[in-house]
């Protein structure tokens, strides 16, 4: 595009406008604008130089774009960069000399070299080269920084996309995994107590409705997550009856803290499957939420024995670790341990969100 972008032209006007003002300031400081003749001579020469500079730097830009210079290897960029600057400096000096001669604006030193135009043009080319070199240097630095920032943004977008896809994959595994376990619970009730089985189906539909609502979000409030957990435990309580005791120790100030959806439910489900269901006399599942320093602790305790192998506890715990790493990096931690002879504790520490 001949006219380029608005930003480019703004930079051109600022650059050459600043160059003009600086030269006028120095001309005034050195008493070169005392007479009308001096004013015409200084402003005329400056105007011609700036006009040529503006036109030729724009033509240089067009050449750079047309030969796709910024996409070439750095070694080639430097060589072509210097060559372009040199050629346009000679062109600038040639036309600058011609116009000055036409309008009788040559100074005494230039008039002395008028008989040897090659030397006169070479002298002028040096000044054009200096200014064109600075212009090209700024142009290349600007585009290098812009390109670098774009690559960084593209990398961040790619990482974000990968993270989003990984989270969706984990969620896609969590829901079928959860539904399968829930259906097993309902199946156990069908022959034993059909009425309770029907109530269990209603509980399951409530859980699925809630999980579908939060699936699009990376986090939900603990209050919403707890509602799913309570529905799930109510369903499991139908199956285990007196063998399952449920306790809650929830700091109300933590209810509005963001948590990954279905994460607490996954820990509770794991406590039921690998803890309570393996105990002849059943046991307790306790859900705790509290602040500890700058950490929001979510704890699920259950009666049982820890195998000592995270992978042995199934998909639920490994998915919890993966989700925490993707969402929070090293700002969140997960730990599962045997806290006494008959109690297992799964603890998640999340960064506190300030409202």
Instruction: Extract the tokens encoding 108.
Output: 């005494």
Mean pLDDT by groups of 10 residues along the chain of 355 residues: 71 93 92 87 92 94 90 87 95 92 82 74 90 93 84 72 55 56 74 78 75 66 90 80 91 93 86 87 93 93 78 61 82 91 92 78
**Predicted local confidence at residue 73, as pLDDT:** 85
Cα–Cα distance, 299 to 284 (Å, whole number): 13
Q: Identify the residue whose tokens are 């135009």.
A: 117
Cα–Cα distance, 121 to 138 (Å, whole number): 25
β pairing state of 343-351 and 295-303 = antiparallel
**Predicted local confidence at residue 136, as pLDDT:** 92
**Predicted local confidence at residue 3, as pLDDT:** 46
Cα–Cα distance, 200 to 269 (Å, whole number): 16
The residue extents of the domains of the chain are: 6-155, 191-351
**Predicted local confidence at residue 85, as pLDDT:** 95
**Predicted local confidence at residue 90, as pLDDT:** 95
**Predicted local confidence at residue 51, as pLDDT:** 95
Fold observed for domain 191-351: Heat Shock Protein 90 (3.30.565)
β pairing state of 220-221 and 258-259 = antiparallel
| Average pLDDT of the chain to the nearest whole number | 83
Residue 284 and residue 236 in contact, taking contact as beta carbons nearer than 8 Å = no
**Predicted local confidence at residue 121, as pLDDT:** 87
pLDDT (tens digit, 9 = 90+) per residue, 114-163? 667 788 888 889 999 999 999 999 998 988 888 888 778 777 775 665 56
**Predicted local confidence at residue 222, as pLDDT:** 94
Cα–Cα distance, 159 to 200 (Å, whole number): 41
Sequence-distant (6+) residues with CB within 8 A of 73 are: none
């Amino acid at each position: 595009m001949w006219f380029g972008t608005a930003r480019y032209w703004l930079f051109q006007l600022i650059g050459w406008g600043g160059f003009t003002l600086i030269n006028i300031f120095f001309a005034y400081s050195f008493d070169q604008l005392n007479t009308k003749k001096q004013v015409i001579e200084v402003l005329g020469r400056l105007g011609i130089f700036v006009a040529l500079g503006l036109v030729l730097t724009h033509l240089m830009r067009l050449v750079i774009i047309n030969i796709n210079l910024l996409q070439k290897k750095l070694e080639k960029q430097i060589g072509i960069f210097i060559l372009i600057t040199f050629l346009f400096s000679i062109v600038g000096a040639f036309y600058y000399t011609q116009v000055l001669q036409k309008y009788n604006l040559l100074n005494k030193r230039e008039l002395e070299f008028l008989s040897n135009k090659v030397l006169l043009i070479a002298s002028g080319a040096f000044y054009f080269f200096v200014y064109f070199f600075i212009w090209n240097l700024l142009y290349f630095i600007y585009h290098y920084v812009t390109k670098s920032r774009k690559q960084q943004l593209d990398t961040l977008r790619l990482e974000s996309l990968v993270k989003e896809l990984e989270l969706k994959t984990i969620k896609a595994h969590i829901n079928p995994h959860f539904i399968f376990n829930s259906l097993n619970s309902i199946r156990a009730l069908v022959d034993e107590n059909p009425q309770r089985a029907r109530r269990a189906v209603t509980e399951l539909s409530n859980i699925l409705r809630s999980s579908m609502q939060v699936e699009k979000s990376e986090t939900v409030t603990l209050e919403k997550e707890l509602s799913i957990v309570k529905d799930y435990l109510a369903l499991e309580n139908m199956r285990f009856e007196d063998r399952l005791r449920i306790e809650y120790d929830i700091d109300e100030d933590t209810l509005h803290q963001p948590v990954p959806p279905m994460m607490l439910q996954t820990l509770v489900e794991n406590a039921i499957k690998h803890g309570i269901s393996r105990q002849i006399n059943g046991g307790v599942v306790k859900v705790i939420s509290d602040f500890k320093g700058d950490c929001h602790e979510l704890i699920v305790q259950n009666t049982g024995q820890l195998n000592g192998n995270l992978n042995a506890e199934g998909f639920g715990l490994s998915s919890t670790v993966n989700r925490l790493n993707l969402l929070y990096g090293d700002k969140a931690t997960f730990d599962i341990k045997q806290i006494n002879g008959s109690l297992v504790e799964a603890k998640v520490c999340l960064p506190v969100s300030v409202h």
